[in-house]
Amino acid sequence: MPWRRPRKKVERPIEVTRSIEESLEDAAAGEEEEDSVDLAGLDDATVVEAATGEPEPERGASDLALKLRETLAREPAPARARPRATTYPESGVDLAVDAARGLRLRNPVLTASGTFGQGIEYAELIDVARLGAIVNKGTTPNMRPGNPQYRIAETPSGILNSIGLENPGAVEVARRYGVQWAALGVPVIVNVAGYSVEDYVYVVSEMAGTPGVVAYELNVSCPNVKDGMIFGSDPSLAAELTRAVKAETDLPVIVKLTPNAPDVVAVARACEEAGADGVTAINTVLGMRIDTRRRRPILGTGSGGLSGPAIRPIAVHITYQVAQAVGIPIMGAGGVTSAEDALEFLMAGASAVQVGTATFADPLVPLKVIEGLAAYVREHGLRSIREIVGTALPRMVE
């Protein structure tokens, strides 16, 4: 039926018993459905058929339709990186750090997993090659569609999320993004998630040899289905996982600590003993918001993970504690919005920081943090940013 008449816009009343967000979402869903019916109806219609709503006499597919079909069948075009400037404010300043054992980065600023897509999406907005590295979205063995709506709720000074690790699965991630990552000129750390040791090992084995990938970060906050535990909460499970992944890859393995563990320092220690090359501190903090009109939790899954400036003091404190317990590098994460915030983490013992939620409000934040750190090194006459790492730790205080 390529000659369906264009439909009239339907007014949808806002239902008073539902929240505004729900009504808007219902209206959008209804329109989307009708649009897709109409678009399907218009598929292959000529301009005359679409305009008149009447079929044209016998005809073959137009040249335009054939070209369109051919283009749609092609692989996605490679990401276009922004042209690089020759100098940036950080040029000539020694910002290099070891973000993990065997992982030297040009500067200590990374983007956090789940908040920067696969990195490719941002290449037209910012020069991603200026970043220390990017951490991709959590990658699982198979495709995951993610959790039911709502997945994000705002909170004072942060957000709650329950995305549910939506991703296309390890094989697709490697196939779709590997070549593009290498072309971007920024190192990529693959964030790995799963429900069993075998899941994590599988992802790492499937990602082996993927261009651009320099390390793995293990997201250990997923429930272990077998015995209902969370890897990141139990030092011996976290150690077992670390050992298994280390045996699978020669690339550095970083364990991302969860603040929801009863003893996060014990988990960090166990991972170091099991061979981890670094730790990230921290993942999100468990939290909940209630929709008082519906008398139900706002997030589709009830609880979610709190991120943003609200959790920064928790993250700095955990960094400070872990830095005194392990010798491997730490990446700080949690509420970094400025160079000043990043300095707090570095002085508390982190070698690098990851910027997450702040990039939703302003994608330039990671670059502004790099520029601010470079300015700090210059203003304080330091030889490198490494000189300030751990300066707030007890053993460093005179």
Ligand X SMILES: Cc1cc2nc3c(=O)[nH]c(=O)nc-3n(C[C@H](O)[C@H](O)[C@H](O)COP(=O)(O)O)c2cc1C
CB of 111 to ligand X, least distance (A): 9
224 binds ligand X (CB under 6 A): no
- Which positions from 268 through 327 interact with ligand X, judged by CB under 6 A? 283-284, 307-308, 311
Across the strands, what pairs with 111?
Answer: 134, 355
Q: Which of residues 101, 106, 130, 137 is near ligand X by CB under 6 A?
A: 137
Largest CA distance in the chain: 90
Q: Which is nearer to ligand X, 45 or 365 (CB)?
A: 365
CA 293 to CA 62: how far, in whole Å?
53
Q: At what angle do helices 312-323 and 339-347 cross, to 10 degrees?
A: 30
Tell me if residue 330 falls in helix, strand or coil: strand
163 binds ligand X (CB under 6 A): yes
Residues in the chain: 398
109 binds ligand X (CB under 6 A): no
Annotation says 222 is catalytic: yes
Q: Which of residues 355, 367, 373, 389 is near ligand X by CB under 6 A?
A: 355
CB of 6 to ligand X, least distance (A): 37
Catalytic, out of 100, 193, 222, 389: 222
CB of 303 to ligand X, least distance (A): 14
# binding residues, ligand X (CB under 6 A) = 26
Contacts of 365 (CB under 8 A, 6+ apart): 336, 337, 338, 355, 358, 359
Q: Which of residues 161, 233, 258, 319 is near ligand X by CB under 6 A?
A: 161
162 binds ligand X (CB under 6 A): no
Residue 32 CB burial class (10 angstroms; 0-12, 13-18, ≥19): exposed
CA 334 to CA 167: how far, in whole Å?
22
In terms of Cα–Cα distance, which of 272, 257, 253, 273 is closest to 103?
253
Q: List contacts with ligand X (CB under 6 A).
A: 112-115, 137-138, 159, 161, 163, 165, 191, 219, 256, 283-284, 307-308, 311, 333-336, 355-358
Q: Which residues are catalytic?
A: 222
